[in-house]
Amino acid sequence: MKPTLTVKSLKIGFVSGFSPPMLDFDVGVGVHHLKGPNGVGKTTLLRTLCGELQPLAGNITVCGLDPTSDYRARRHVAYLPASPEAPEFLTVDELWQNLAAIRGAPHWSGGALRERLGLASTLLLGQASSGQRRRAEFLAMLAGDPEVLLLDEVFTHLDAEFSTIVAELIENRRTSRLVLITSHQQLP
């Protein structure tokens, strides 16, 4: 399936609070950077694009499917939140294996990628440093090799070495995946 993301007359936000202007865009394969200050709606946009939040108005299609109403769309999109959300009782391998199975790719192997990210398979997320946890959630986000990657502040908590590795892994997907990165600063 061709990685695409189309937004038409999209209104996001919360009924009782801040809502950015209406959005219209169409993006395809490549790495796209959405930069802006804190509080302008970048995280809300990503959470809406992956189907976690319902839009106030408008339409979204991911690989031709609506993530707000068609659960199949969620197999094609992966979201890396800015803050850790994975259960602390899981190990690194349990996290990516569960997500690969959910995405319909139970035989996806993340072992080599886990090693490249400097993670032990049996490391409990609850005992991981913030950098290790970030790398584990990045690995899990790649589980099943989804076509659309939504990365919220992807380099948060990463040291220089692993920022470089993550940047390379993102760059390697430039010609085959749609990657949307949000940040409030320049990317490495």
Q: Give the per-residue pLDDT at 72.
A: 87
Task: Give the structural domain span for 78.
Answer: 5-181
Measuring CA to CA, how many Å separate 135 from each of 117, 119, 132, 152, 163? Answer: 6, 8, 5, 13, 10
Q: Over the chain (188 residues), what is each successive 10-residue block's mean pLDDT?
A: 89 74 92 89 92 92 92 90 92 93 83 95 97 96 94 95 96 96 80
Residue 159 lies in a domain: yes
Q: How many domains does the chain have?
A: 1
Q: Give the per-residue pLDDT at 13.
A: 80
Q: Give the per-residue pLDDT at 18.
A: 67
Residue 92 lies in a domain: yes
Q: Give the per-residue pLDDT at 104.
A: 83
Q: Could you tell me if residue 30 is left (phi over 0), alpha (psi between -120 and 50 degrees) or otherwise beta?
A: left
Q: Give the per-residue pLDDT at 17.
A: 66
Which CATH number characterizes residue 145's domain?
3.40.50.300
Residue 186 lies in a domain: no
Residue 67 lies in a domain: yes
Contact (CB, 8 A) for 60 and 44: no
Residue 187 lies in a domain: no
